[in-house]
Structure 1
Amino acid sequence: MAERRKLRADAQRNEDRLLVAAAAAFTRDGANASVKDIAKEAGVGVGTLYRRFPSKELLIEATYRNEVQRLCDAAPDLATELPPAGALRAWMERFIDFMTTKDGMADVLRVVLTDEGEKLETRAMLATAIERLLTADMRPDANAHDVLMALGGISLIAASEGRRDLAGRLIDLLLHGILV
């Protein structure tokens, strides 16, 4: 993903709050989320939002990229805070939550994220995060890309059934299959 210019500390805090508020709004309301409500929830004016993200599409794209990065950044922390199986399971739960956010933005993301290389880069980033969580007490043939594809399937099944609890149970089955 492209490098960005460093923001002033206060501008970075505003952006961080906007992206967190946007992720919550897109999860809740989909692409129809109100930018005015997002700005209000972030504690900034709508002008601040539009200065940083001149269009809703750019806000959605930035929210998506931020959520991917946050998910990937969580892997090392989870690996140090929890036992291996617990860390992997916690990351899998976060992945399902990420997919829920992504689903709320899906229609716009299909238009905004059309570059196949970028899609592959995102998959590689997510697989690298999973690789950090796969340990010696897990099956040696447990492949991070396969785990990622299985998680994608779990998120699709749970979403089509409208049952987040189903995702948790399917994660348990997947995890049980990975552990030795």
Structure 2
Amino acid sequence: MANGHAPQRRMRADARRNRDRLLGATREAFAEHGTEASLEDIARRAGVAIGTLYSHFPTRHALLEALLREQVEALAEKAGQLLDHPSPLEALVAWAHAAVAHTNTYRGLAASMMSGLGYENSELHAACQALIQAGERVLARAQQAGAVRPDVPATDLFALINAVAWAGEQLPPEQAERLVGYAVDGLRPMPARE
């Protein structure tokens, strides 16, 4: 252990299968009932005991983080790609739409994300921070171009996206799409008063 880290144990094949079944059952349950779906129901769907669920995912936020990890990574990658977009404002709008779509994956996810952001010890906190950092790069580029107010922090953008996503849970999709545009319009610099 020259690097000072304990070697990471490989997961046994049966444990890996249980974990995969739990994630599949979670997708199904969250799609049907939102992020507040019963953990007991998820374990039952996966064909495992509730203790097995908790041994893999000690909290609901840990389960959500594992379920959303690939999507969060894809959003971070999309943000990187949008840095090459010819219009910094259009890039920000595109990223906001993608982030809202991600947050609307499951009913209740927007509230869970905001909750996870508020608790540094939450497993979901790192995913929220990754989304904020991804959005921050796109936001900073739009600010440098003068397309967005310079006083808008990335944490406010994250909160705004989550608010639009939460509202989108209650509204028809086309109305939720319009809300993203209104939200980004509100980030534009204020016209100078005479």
* TM-score in same-fold range (> 0.5): yes
* Alignment match of 2:27 (pick from 14, 23, 31): 23
CA separation in 2, counterparts of 1:73 and 1:92? 15
**Cα distance in 2 between the residues matched to 1:143 and 1:13:** 42
Task: Look up the match of 2:88.
Answer: none
Structure 2 unaligned spans of 5+: 1-7, 86-90, 190-194
Change (3 A) 1:150 1:6: farther
Give the equivalent residue in structure 2 for 1:93: 101
- Deviation, structure 1 residue 92: 2.8
Query: Is 1:151 matched with 2:155?
Result: no
In the alignment, structure 1 residue 117 sits paired with structure 2 residue 82: no
> Residue 128 of structure 1: CA displacement?
1.8
TM-aligned CA distance change 1:139 to 1:158, over 3 Å: same
Distance in 2, matches of 1:61 and 1:92, equals 19
CA distance in 1, matches of 2:188, 2:20: 36
2:98 and 2:31 map into 1 onto residues whose CA distance is: 19
Q: Larger Cα Rg: Structure 1 or Structure 2?
A: 2
**1:84-103 deviation per Cα after TM superposition (whole angstroms, max 9, x unaligned):** 342442123212325x2537
Go from structure 1 to structure 2 and tell me whether the alpha carbon gap of 1:165 and 1:24 turns closer, same or farther (over 3 Å shift): farther
Aligned position for 2:79: 79
The two structures have a TM-score, normalised by structure 1, of: 0.62
Equivalent AA in structure 2 for residue 143 of structure 1: P
The residue that corresponds to 2:109 in the other structure is 102
Asked if 1 retains the 8 angstrom alpha-carbon contact of 2:75 and 2:134, the reply is yes
Structure showing greater relative contact order (alpha-carbon pairs closer than 8 Å, 6 or more residues apart): 1
- Total equivalences in the alignment: 161
Q: Secondary structure at the match of 1:19?
A: helix
**3-state SS in 2 of match to 1:139:** coil
Q: Deviations over 1:66-122 (max 9, x none)?
A: 245344322332134554342442123212325x2537x97xxx8xx8x84335945
User: Which amino acid in the other structure matches residue 117 of structure 1?
Assistant: E
Name the TM-score, length of structure 2 as normaliser: 0.58
Map of 1:173 onto structure 2: 182
One-letter amino acid matched to 2:64: Y
Compared CA separation, residues 150 and 29, structure 1 to 2 (3 A): same
Letter paired with 1:171: V
Tell me if 1:131 matches 2:136.
yes
Residue 16 (structure 1) shift:
4.0
CA distance in 2, matches of 1:178, 1:9: 50
